[in-house]
Amino acid sequence: MLITILAVLTMTVGNLAALAQKSVKRMLAYSSIAHVGYILIGIVASVNGQFDRAISSVLFYLFAYTFMNIGAFGILIFMSREGVQGENLDDFTGLSRRSPAAALAMLIFLFSLAGIPPTAGFAAKLSIFYAAVQGGYYTLVVIAVLNSAVAAYYYLRVIIVMYMQEPEVETAFTGTSPLLWAGIALAMAGTIVLGVLPGGLLEAARLSVMSLL
């Protein structure tokens, strides 16, 4: 019961705090708190549900979140090297015109963070929610889905300014950093592959949990 309450509070407070942010960096930071709440659902589900599948969904979520979060912050680093701090939502205005590759990468990472298919974030949330349903925690799943809807709003807000608003400065980003973009590309690949083909890693995580029992 204590972890259930903690999961609800963590999801709700994290998402509401992220919703109020004008800084994209702070939005991502507060949303991390909300993602911890989703992960706690898997811990709760392990009590009355299938322990191996619940814990494997937690491991999968952690792995998937690593790709999408590192990728999102990688775009912030790229923008800072181009002379744009990437702190405020306005900094992303018209990014699709100034750097189509950065905008596309950020789109994928934000879709994943919001849990939109076919990304790793969707597969991760689906596995967590399914484990909770198996354990009979229906109310907790409903609260989590509502929280996901709130999260989708503030993630999509960034996408709207990237693709649907004109940039104040038309100058395109020209700087390149092969090592940084290699990391962003790896994060994109992980985000997409884990969303399209999550079964193999989920099964590997389940077997690793079973080996510890």
Question: What pLDDT, in 10s, does the model give residues 49-68?
Answer: 789 999 999 999 999 999 99
Compare 49 and 132 and report the one with higher pLDDT: 132
How many domains is the chain built from?
Answer: 1
Q: Is 88 helix (H, G, I), strand (E, B) or coil?
A: strand
Q: How far apart are CA 62 and CA 201, in angstroms?
A: 12
Q: What is d(CA 83, CA 78) in angstroms, rounded to the nearest whole number?
A: 9
Q: What is the per-residue pLDDT across 100-112, written as a single tens digit (0 to 9) for each?
A: 999 999 999 999 9
pLDDT at 160 over 70: yes
What's the whole-model pTM score? 0.93
pLDDT value of residue 177: 83
Q: Is the pLDDT of residue 92 over 80?
A: yes
* CA 83 to mean position of chain CA atoms: 26
- Tokens 């994928």 -> residue: 108
User: What is the domain extent for residue 92?
Assistant: 2-212
What is the average pLDDT across 79-101?
A: 83
